Structure 1
């Protein structure tokens, strides 16, 4: 989250914490009409457009570095394409940007020039920064501009638009990028699509990471690879809105097979108007897909409101959610936006001091300022993908249970130990590679015999947490995923998130944040909020804070309704406000000076979850998490069988759709007892500390907390011991 500067207005509400505001620098593009912006990695490529000042059509290329917010002008190699505007640009998410059509200048038969639609196709290779042109085909599509386009599965799909007579076209053109040829055109069945009122996005069926472990035993014999997932079809979603006396909305889903043949067209217009909250008519809308969320964005202009709005439509529950981006997008002119999936941000270009009504009237777009909206705060983000199949994950768990392949002993803070393979540990846990160097690359002068090299009792590493946390951590190390029920306990996830942030393990942090997003509700919001603060998970922190504040508002309304009831109402029918808000009262008592803003807590090596909570489990938890067996000196600990969490109906839901549903407070759920997790002392996190610190004041726990760099420097506490007895 950006710190407020001269370019960032001060935050006055939770909504203002959602959006970062930046003023770009460098070779900022001028005011343009009909230019395109395309995102590849951390760079935005701008091409074409018509200059407002001179009305000259451009074919320049500008690149914005999203890390430095700096524009640069580049001149690609080879002959430049003809200038144009209101064309289309789509990336293959690798090295190419495909440009097609648009309005430009072409030569007439008498040698003159005229403004007319184009139908040529060309590519920009961003790796070599050069223009490339395919062989001109006789079956090229009709000349068009202001059309819709999308790229998916090596196919560029172009539909609609307007021709030389400004008439809408009713065809779907598909270009095979691998074969470099146009396919047989399809019909839109007389539906008219244009960039002014419609948006399109093409997707393939996506195998999302489930929020919890799959309902299968990864250690069953024989192993079966259940990840055989083939993309056999393409779905093209097109959204249109019309504003006459009443707002008319359309959502069509076109299904195509891999032979570029039409399978079916499904009209989902009735599904998008079921809820009470619906998006207003948007001008020049853009559409994106993030998980199971259909994201729609564009400027909304009315006599009472001029604002760039972002909406998310859950494709499974058919519910619209408005992304409240704060007051930044309610002032000035913001007309161009695109989705950045890598950072879960929505980027909007504009200018805070210009008039949106005037710029829209002239179709002018400004690229001087950039607003970055954090959509992960609303539970909309790209979920992590499995890196290995179920067969590979099961093989990793089997390897973890086999002590014959181990050469290193990990000792926990509660005196237990587990044998592991040092090569596997160093591969995923890069922070300790230097400590493991004597084992990975033994020196003859230090270790003289093979027996000493393989004797694990002489190679020990201290792990800064308990046995159950180490088991969950090693399950990730050996599978590169969170696949077991042990790993999906809330307090275990909180510790894994802290360890991932402390030792810079991005994959583990991404998986832990994803799992905590799924279990975020009124009962877990307080714990997840505290975990996110300690682990620098800002998006998760703000989302948990929003849940707490919304729950508090509901409780206040319940109290108000309780006070307005007749005095002769039976006491048995009253709702106890103290029991209803018990978890919030306890949360506020532990947070002096609580205010609706994001607290900045110094990074610390201390973890605010008491290890004793593992031993006060319910019977259901005891059946899932293995108890720490008693320590036996000189005896190897045998790992228990890893039980896989049985998937319930809620687990089969989309991780995105389940995350975006708003938590609701009921009398039964509100009285659930919350488990408070007291802050441990600094020394108790790194080693056992049986000293009684109950007499210390509570505020002393937050004093003199070291920064993250100090925590990383404490890697020396992983004592690597060589005993040569």
Structure 2
């Protein structure tokens, strides 16, 4: 685990315990401009960029372990080498890294050129391949259609993977004109299959996007029942492919913010014979987009400032926004969160590490509730920002769960009727007792504990097995004929009492969970929840219970000692 950074300027806030600083190890990239960083689980790959010293585009590929900050240069990439490029896009799909667009070098004219090519690196074979560009002269009808979907050369564009499609939209050409176009690349067939207008002037400098799972609370929050909802999709026989949330901020003096939900559909008619309407203008093949402006849903009492090179991520019921904040008095890398539970924007209190140095690239590890931010702790942010330089000398880890930002556990839902039945059993028949530290006795039913508490099940099985061994030993003393006779296994004849080293309230709360599948509101004190956390910490088979208690503790701390956020 990373060690807590020592910094005399750190304030006495929660970030002292949740911000960690490491020095990168191994062969890490030199300062670079416009590189792409593609996350694959707890690892990432960095490709391309422009060398910050000599300004030449490069095609190096690096690998980093996000948990340790250890880097290495990926070698032996086969005979085919990728095109050097910068301000391109990179995504991960099915053991492939897919790179598109950007700015390259025209070797014949020794000048910069916009790229519209797609190159793929296979992680298993460690080799590159180039997706051929389609031309209008293609004789094959499918190829001819693909040529009409071929995206324009661009750089600084936005991108996302939805299902088996890479979505690319907006960006700029070499004349810095915005490209009002959205395209879809079929990752299975490796063909461009959709192109349509997209009337927004945006790029990575002031916007970003993230995919939304159709079963997430955020998707339901942005998609009320009606047109474009999952229910509506089912009724009209169209297949819902996926959705992305698009964040745009502009006019940094008087900040304008927009959040757009884009939903991708595939029509049931595989021939794609749909009349082109205003709603589906530019429709190709069998795909189309629907756009829902959800800006008003994200208006709060406090709002994030204008951020350069923003990034958005989803962690549970939280939308995380990161980016560079620049004013005459402050230059810093900042983090904001929109919480569905609070329905408001809140700035994470990360004063200290991110207020000093130059930080640019940020990745999110939702499984561990962490942000990983790369940079250099001694350089000046404004100096690197002016030339768009990224550094990878240091890495900062932000533990999001300490701020109440985490993925809620999937707790089995029991009906009200089930809870009533559990309460009835809890106050009814019993065949054993729990002994607490106060020497109180709590009656309970061993069969319930056996079915729902793996540790008790293991204990009972071991006791029964020990009893059978002792019984066999006593039979062997009566002679071999008796010892070989079949007999019915017997249960323990020992004590009907189980001692638990916890107080009465903790034991009662635990029994209530085993019987009813939840913790009674009467036992939601911090002390009881902490005791339950200790009880479940190393209890194999009770991982869901442990996560449930952690979630309840978060709610309790937020109510009683809400220090997690800086308002």
TM-score normalized with structure 1 length: 0.58
1:76–1:131 Cα contact (<8 Å) kept: no
Q: CA deviation at 1:194?
A: 0.8
Is 1:119 matched up with 2:116? yes
Task: Identify the range of structure 1 (96-105 vs 43-52) with the bigger mean alpha-carbon deviation.
Answer: 96-105
1:424–1:478 Cα contact (<8 Å) kept: no
Q: Deviations over 1:307-341 (max 9, x none)?
A: 11111234686522111211221122112212221
Q: CA deviation at 1:191?
A: 1.3
Q: What corresponds to 2:264 in structure 1?
A: 256
Instruction: Flag the structure with higher strand content.
Output: 2
Q: Deviations over 1:53-75 (max 9, x none)?
A: 23232222222223332222222
1:193–1:240 Cα contact (<8 Å) kept: yes
Is 1:300 matched up with 2:338? no
Q: Structure 1 regions of 5+ residues with no counterpart? A: 210-229, 526-543, 548-659, 663-725
Q: CA deviation at 1:365?
A: 0.6
Is 1:512 matched up with 2:513? no
Q: Deviations over 1:522-554 (max 9, x none)?
A: 5x44xxxxxxxxxxxxxxxxxx5x27xxxxxxx
Q: Deviations over 1:186-244 (max 9, x none)?
A: 321x21221112111221333459xxxxxxxxxxxxxxxxxxxx994643222222236
How far, CA to CA, are the matches of 1:235 and 1:488 in structure 2?
Answer: 40
Of 153, 157, 166, 1:156 maps to: 166
SS in 2 for 1:287: strand
Q: What corresponds to 1:145 in structure 2?
A: 155
Q: CA deviation at 1:265?
A: 2.5
Is 1:242 matched up with 2:250? yes
2:349–2:566 Cα contact (<8 Å) kept: no
Q: What corresponds to 1:565 in structure 2?
A: none
Q: What corresponds to 1:583 in structure 2?
A: none
How far, CA to CA, are the matches of 2:167 and 2:515 in structure 1?
Answer: 41
Q: What corresponds to 1:196 in structure 2?
A: 205
Of 271, 293, 296, 1:267 maps to: 293
How far, CA to CA, are the matches of 1:43 and 1:520 in structure 2?
Answer: 33
SS in 2 for 1:167: coil
Change (3 A) 1:443 1:29: farther
Change (3 A) 1:459 1:183: farther
Map 1:457-536 onto structure 2 (within 5 A).
Answer: 462-465=499-502, 469-470=506-507, 473=510, 483=518, 485=520, 489-490=524-525, 492-501=528-537, 503=539, 506-522=543-559, 524-525=560-561
How far, CA to CA, are the matches of 1:439 and 1:56 in structure 2?
Answer: 72
Q: What corresponds to 2:357 in structure 1?
A: 332
Q: Deviations over 1:352-411 (max 9, x none)?
A: 21121221111111011112223323322222235x6769x979x99x979xxx9x9774
SS in 1 for 2:115: strand
Map 1:270-281 onto structure 2 (within 5 A).
Answer: 270=296, 272=298, 275=301, 277-281=302-306
Please report the RMSD computed on the Cα atoms of aligned residues, expressed in angstroms: 4.1
Is 1:385 matched up with 2:410? yes
Change (3 A) 1:10 1:377: same
Q: Deviations over 1:86-134 (max 9, x none)?
A: 1112335x74443222222356xxx666532223334444466554666
Q: CA deviation at 1:497?
A: 1.3
Q: What corresponds to 2:215 in structure 1?
A: 206
Q: Structure 2 regions of 5+ residues with no counterpart? A: 135-142, 219-233, 268-285, 473-485
* Bigger RCO (CA 8 Å, 6+ sep): 1
Map 1:358-507 onto structure 2 (within 5 A).
Answer: 358-386=383-411, 411-413=434-436, 414-415=440-441, 416-420=443-447, 429=455, 438=462, 445-446=469-470, 448=472, 451-454=488-491, 462-465=499-502, 469-470=506-507, 473=510, 483=518, 485=520, 489-490=524-525, 492-501=528-537, 503=539, 506-507=543-544
TM-score normalized with structure 2 length: 0.73
How far, CA to CA, are the matches of 2:196 and 2:87 in structure 1?
Answer: 23
How far, CA to CA, are the matches of 1:515 and 1:254 in structure 2?
Answer: 34
Map 1:548-567 onto structure 2 (within 5 A).
Answer: none
Map 1:617-632 onto structure 2 (within 5 A).
Answer: none
How far, CA to CA, are the matches of 1:447 and 1:208 in structure 2?
Answer: 57
Q: What corresponds to 1:55 in structure 2?
A: 55
SS in 2 for 1:184: strand
